[in-house]
Amino acid sequence: MTQDAVTIRLLHGEPAEMRDLQRVLEEAPMYANRITGVPPGPADAQSTYTALPEGKSYDDKFVFGIYFAGEMVGCADLIRGYPDFATALLGLLLVSEKRQRQGIGYNAYALIEQFIRDWCTCDRVRIGVVRTNEAVRTFWTHLGFDPTGEVKPYRYGSVVSETVVLEKRLSNKPLHPILGCGDVRPPR
């Protein structure tokens, strides 16, 4: 699979997008069970689209659909400038379980990282891996993420665990030497 086969699109909360996003989340029941202790719920798409960390606005939130062969097969949730100005927080990168282990997640992350680099404000990306979902840690280490040493308590419903914070440093070089940097959004 080439990276060109995978695309990302910024979602705007339109009904068709929300239906596709909900379907993708429902196609990952093992993830939901590991993180929440229950199967995906009927409002998960809405929660993904609207959840914000304290002090952030929707101007800094980006929810992407991940597409393969024209079909949404995954999603990502990105916050610019959190927990500090120079950090992008990737709160979620999820691929439908029937589409996992095909390179879609790796290629989608590369596109998201390029999106982050185009801001020219963030020099690192952070993620949190809940220990009940430890199996995904290898995916992130292969992408260049390292543990920060920061571990936070995690609780969601009946799931009591810890979140291990991982981080990847980005180079400061603009991707577009002539155009420079900017808030470049992927096409809809």
pLDDT mean values, one per 10 residues, the chain (188 residues): 77 95 94 91 90 92 95 96 95 91 90 94 95 92 95 93 96 50 45
What's the CATH code of the domain at 116?
3.40.630.30
Task: Flag whether 146 is in a domain.
Answer: no
| Residue 99: per-residue pLDDT | 85
Total of domains in the chain = 1
Which of 150, 153, 154 shows the shortest CA–CA distance to 124? 150
For 75, the domain range is 3-127
Task: Flag whether 85 is in a domain.
Answer: yes
| Residue 182: per-residue pLDDT | 52
Distance CA 140, CA 165 (A): 11
Task: Flag whether 151 is in a domain.
Answer: no
| Residue 168: per-residue pLDDT | 97
- Reading the block at residue 45, the tokens are 């798409």
Distance CA 30, CA 52 (A): 24
| Residue 162: per-residue pLDDT | 95
Task: Flag whether 78 is in a domain.
Answer: yes
- As a 3-state breakdown, the chain gives helix, strand, coil percent values, each rounded to 5, of 35, 30, 35
Task: Flag whether 182 is in a domain.
Answer: no
Task: Flag whether 66 is in a domain.
Answer: yes
Measured in degrees and rounded to the nearest 5, phi and psi for residue 159 equal: -85, 120
Task: Flag whether 64 is in a domain.
Answer: yes
Given a contact cutoff of 8 angstroms between Cβ atoms, the answer to whether 94 and 35 are in contact is no
